[in-house]
Structure 1
Amino acid sequence: MDALLTFLSSCNLFSCASSLLVGLVCVVWFANVYSPPERPRVVYKKVKDGTSGVAEKVATRCNILMEKYFPPLLWGRSGHLQAHMYGFICRFFPPQVNGQRHRRVAADGATITFDVFYPQLSTNCESNDETRRIAVVIPGIGNGSDRPYVRVLVREMNRLGYIVSVLNHLGALEDEMLTSRRIFTYGGTDDFQLMMDWVLERWPGSMVIGVGLSMGGNVLMKYLGEKPNRQRHFVGAVSVCQGYNIAKGLPTLMNWAGLRRLYNYHVTKHLRKVVRRHSDVLFVPPVERRDDSSTGCCLIPDMERTLSATSLMEIDTHLQRHLVKFNSLEEYYEQDSCCHYLHNITDVPVLLVNAQDDPLVAEFLLETAEDYASTFSNALFVLTKHGSHLAFFEGGILIPNTVTWIDRMITQFMKAADEIHREI
């Protein structure tokens, strides 16, 4: 009997040890710990006559591109874990920066808001047009200047002496109510134009650097490409973690590959909160439901289906498509995609940054950015092995550095673009 108990006890110990070993292997596999850090892949067109193109000049001045990117050892090499930690760290450790709220009223009655952040102990505001440095930032989907990841970037820009103006996507802020029947769209540029008008009126003759984050990158690139004369106001433009083609990108979020369907639901859940907060403005009583005689589109969205949506495409089907008056999602997505306008951006240095392990952006979508950078000498495409979606945490074993890799990349690009502009 004692021998039997001893045997069973040893079996239990072996079983526990085996379970722990299997669990440890799974954790190591999921965390991708053994994925070695690498230098970013950099793509730009080299000029044949032996001179350096704009993108090449920028690349040689950004030392960060010559270095390996080291994410946090225990969790930074998994795109999923970086995305999770990104939300945790940003939520509990937000930087303290204070901006001044400004409002502009659009032609349709919408009240557009943006916050301007001034560098401390700087004479930048009073300096002349030649030396004043201004940056304009467009956040990701449903976000504004209150988001921690935006404020980290603002803080680093302020440290460089830049005045930073951040667009708040229409409907995103909890303390700003809608004054017209619409919210932000994936590629609408009218709201950003109102902010740009204010910036250029406030500091006439000044040159700006634009930064678009995720969906904001799509808006910025579309803004510069749909009317090329807008580029004359810009020293440089940065796009981070966007997918370039909405018509091809959003359907991939309906698939479970890379857990994209789960991320789709998470983003949709946030967007539902935005819609619910403004439901009294966005949804008209059913008795007033009617069609637009000129387009044939139903003008009244479906509140019940919108507020129960589990994907972005459902919200677009039952709400957004009707508000922007498109006959189909395909037409709406094609119209809002910056990929159709990139070829028009030739007069300003452009930096496009993506990560291979981005759980939201399928890798085939990055062909657009690579083709653009390979064709035009003003564009630089940077692809990191790690970084997830807008995270790019850097350094440490468990606790990362306070400044992320992407913050350093953007600020180095800003310095390089500014230097090149002053040399011309």
Structure 2
Amino acid sequence: MADVVIPVAVFGLLCALVRFLHLTEKSEKPKLYYKDDSQFVQSVLDLCPVFKEIFQPTLLWGKSGHLQTFVYAKLGKVLSPFPHGERCSFLMADGATMTYDVFQPHKTHSTNGDYTLLVCPGIANSSEASYVCMFVNYAQDHGYRVAVLNHLGVLPSVPLTSSRMFTYGGTDEYAVMVTEICKRYPDSKLMAIGFSMGGNVVLKYIGEDNSRQKNFLCVMSLCQGYDAGQAAQLAREWGYLRRFYGFVMAKNQKRILKQNYDMLLSTEVQKRYHIDPCRVMAATSAHELDEAYNRRRAGYTSVEEYYKVQSCHTYMSKITLPVLLLNANNDPLVPLPLLEIGKEYAKTHDNALLVNPKHGGHLGFFQKGFFTPDPLTWLDKAALQYAEAIVTLYVSNKLPHRSLRFDIPQKLILNNLKKVHTNIVTMDMEQNGNQNPVPLCRAGCGFYGNTAFEGMCSKCYKDAMKRKENAPTLSGRLSPVATSTVTTVTAPGETDSVGNVTSTLAHTSLGSESGSSNSLQDLAASTTPSVETGSPTVPIPGASNSKQETDKEDIATGGLSTEVASSPDDKKTKKNRCTTCKKKVGLTGFPCRCGGLFCSLHRYSDKHQCDFNYKELAQEQIRKHNPVIVAEKIQKI
């Protein structure tokens, strides 16, 4: 009998373990909910490949929402970094002392801009929470400043100075942090991000007053429940162990009450707000604690009224900012019925996106490895990749609610381009001893000519060569000028770096400034590498007019050159596609110095067969900026 019972028991335990770990479930791509005709969300998705890829949780236990939720709190305390920041405090009107920590970026952002992430952590958490430390360090490495709110009563080193602690939807402390950050860094662009309960706070803060939206580029709400009243009802059920999680949250809040008993449960507070301390300490769920203490201290007549006012779902409809909502299907604290609020909002608002992975738990989202995961979670990467996408659209003037202003970084770029042009002309005159000043372009465009270009500037010379090549097709006969063959000799992959920067600016932030675009295009033309001809050529009259027409076409097309069609039948609209994978990229393509246009996956030089010689370009720039200067031995008269 024992020979049969033991194998059956072992088999049963293995089946239960497989069931608990959900080992038979397949990893899938996150489900995306957004408005069908939203071009903005499509642009964001093109810049965020993490939302289109399969999320692979840790192989052994990563598909269990309970283990994901448990491990993020335990494993993070061992493997997460501990960034060093500046703690700031502010005395509020009711006597409460709120604190927030500011963490400076480890390096300058890739766009040379100033961006600040304003983080609101989850319930009973602060900047010292492990998942907050991990995200802060990751954002610092990518050039972001991070400010993290410390909830009232959470930090043992910061004593309470008033008879209240944090609430589920209280936005007063977060509002003070936003105001102080705006004063300290007036030129910084802000992005709001909230984890768990903090996601409810940031959405409620922005939805309470429409004027607050102008201060932010976007808002991210991660793993929150949207409706506190419905969440409290579901938390009293034992399904998916929600009753147990409610007990843990109530225990954490009661710990804060015990540490600050003299302040939060003093005799004066008990009489003024009709609070029974015995009932408070006997609470075994978040709903019982809210009824016994939180709603009374906040001044509400019922717990239902308290939940309604403290929840963000009554304010979300007013938000027009780009909004990212993220919830996992197996989140034990936020069951699936609560996600319907977020789905409905995402489907009815142009700038909203709800990302719904199959696995991840509550603030877990550990990935990679068989047993030991990567400390940097999928949630951290997804949030920062969304922030990078918003910044990319912002500097490209493609944010629906806010356009890029002509601020200091863009002025610096233009000034640097002008300095490069001035230095090149000055070096040419110094090398010639200032005896033979550089002549102007023979085509009459106003820029300097070059003997290698038949006395014309590089732009006019290229236009002349194009007209020669297209003359037989356009006129139907050969002219004496068009019969001479032209052979261009250039280094493989050689392009004009200044022209690339100029065309990018003209296509993005300076597209509306025609005067600036014209000057930048001419400046790019003046620094184009020389072209050697295989046989004599004849200068073409009227090159100036053709040059001006070409400049206008370049500006109209965003700085990208187009070829003349050989016949009227060939005049078809050319769709922008990735040179590598042939994917339609539309307005979100990334031009490369090798001359190709690529999608977000193949934009980098190591992701496609880029033949541009960056080393040669750097050497050429060094030679131009460091000319050999030799004093004249004999003074010329």
* TM-score normalized with structure 2 length: 0.61
Please list the CA deviations of residues 215-241 of structure 1 after superposition, one character each: whole Å capped at 9, or x if unmatched. Answer: 000000001111111111111111011
Match of 1:70 in 2: 56
Indicate conservation of the 8 Å contact 1:117/1:158, yes or no.
yes
Indicate conservation of the 8 Å contact 2:270/2:277, yes or no.
no
Match of 1:209 in 2: 191
Which structure carries more relative contact order (alpha carbon 8 Å, separation 6+)? 1
User: Structure 1 residues 19 and 113, CA, compared in 2 at 3 Å: closer, same or farther?
Assistant: same
Superposed, 1:287-306 pairs within 5 Å as: 290=271, 299-306=273-280
Which range moved further: 214-223 or 13-22?
13-22
Query: Which of 314, 320, 333 is the aligned partner of 2:288?
Result: 314
Match of 2:323 in 1: 350
Match of 1:13 in 2: 3
Indicate conservation of the 8 Å contact 1:112/1:191, yes or no.
yes
* TM-score normalized with structure 1 length: 0.91
Match of 1:295 in 2: none
- SS of alignment partner, residue 239 of structure 1: strand
Q: Which runs of 5+ in 1 are unaligned?
A: 1-10, 292-298
Q: Does 1:140 align with 2:114?
A: no
Indicate conservation of the 8 Å contact 1:144/1:166, yes or no.
yes
Match of 1:231 in 2: 213
Match of 1:25 in 2: 15
Match of 2:305 in 1: 331
Match of 1:8 in 2: none
Indicate conservation of the 8 Å contact 2:73/2:131, yes or no.
no
The amino acid across from 2:238 in the alignment is: W
In structure 2, C-alpha distance between the alignment counterparts of 1:17 and 1:388, rounded to whole Å: 33
Indicate conservation of the 8 Å contact 2:73/2:130, yes or no.
no
Match of 1:415 in 2: 388
Match of 1:392 in 2: 365
Indicate conservation of the 8 Å contact 1:359/1:388, yes or no.
yes
Query: Which of 229, 239, 255 is the aligned partner of 2:237?
Result: 255
Q: Give the drift of 1:123.
A: 4.9
The amino acid across from 2:152 in the alignment is: L
Indicate conservation of the 8 Å contact 2:125/2:151, yes or no.
yes
In structure 2, C-alpha distance between the alignment counterparts of 1:416 and 1:95, rounded to whole Å: 25
- SS of alignment partner, residue 58 of structure 1: helix
Indicate conservation of the 8 Å contact 1:46/1:56, yes or no.
no
Q: Give the drift of 1:96.
A: 2.2
Superposed, 1:119-138 pairs within 5 Å as: 119-120=105-106, 122-123=107-108, 131-138=113-120
Please list the CA deviations of residues 264-309 of structure 1 after superposition, one character each: whole Å capped at 9, or x if unmatched. Answer: 11111111111111111011227x7545xxxxxxx14222221221
Match of 1:56 in 2: 42
User: Structure 1 residues 273 and 56, CA, compared in 2 at 3 Å: closer, same or farther?
Assistant: same
Match of 2:228 in 1: 246
Match of 1:161 in 2: 143
Match of 1:269 in 2: 251
In structure 2, C-alpha distance between the alignment counterparts of 1:79 and 1:289, rounded to whole Å: 40
Q: Give the drift of 1:407.
A: 0.6
Indicate conservation of the 8 Å contact 1:283/1:300, yes or no.
no
Please list the CA deviations of residues 325-364 of structure 1 after superposition, one character each: whole Å capped at 9, or x if unmatched. Answer: 0000011100011001111111x21100000000011211
Indicate conservation of the 8 Å contact 1:102/1:114, yes or no.
yes
The amino acid across from 2:335 in the alignment is: A
In structure 2, C-alpha distance between the alignment counterparts of 1:119 and 1:267, rounded to whole Å: 33
Match of 1:112 in 2: 98
The amino acid across from 1:177 in the alignment is: P
In structure 2, C-alpha distance between the alignment counterparts of 1:91 and 1:308, rounded to whole Å: 30
Match of 1:80 in 2: 66
Indicate conservation of the 8 Å contact 2:79/2:375, yes or no.
no
Please list the CA deviations of residues 391-422 of structure 1 after superposition, one character each: whole Å capped at 9, or x if unmatched. Answer: 01111111112211101100100000111122
The structure with the larger Rg is 2
Match of 2:88 in 1: 102
Match of 1:185 in 2: 167
Which range moved further: 79-88 or 240-249?
79-88
In structure 2, C-alpha distance between the alignment counterparts of 1:390 and 1:289, rounded to whole Å: 36
Q: List, as ranges, runs of 4+ consecutive aligned residues in structure 1 with deviation greater than 3 Å.
A: 288-291
Query: Which of 363, 374, 378 is the aligned partner of 2:336?
Result: 363
The amino acid across from 1:420 in the alignment is: L
In structure 1, C-alpha distance between the alignment counterparts of 2:270 and 2:150, rounded to whole Å: 30
The amino acid across from 1:23 in the alignment is: L
The amino acid across from 2:68 in the alignment is: Q
The amino acid across from 1:34 in the alignment is: T
User: Structure 1 residues 417 and 123, CA, compared in 2 at 3 Å: closer, same or farther?
Assistant: closer
The amino acid across from 2:284 in the alignment is: T
Indicate conservation of the 8 Å contact 2:220/2:383, yes or no.
yes
Give the number of equivalent residue pairs: 397
The amino acid across from 1:393 in the alignment is: F
Identity %: 38
Indicate conservation of the 8 Å contact 2:329/2:358, yes or no.
yes
Q: Give the drift of 1:161.
A: 0.6
Indicate conservation of the 8 Å contact 2:270/2:276, yes or no.
no
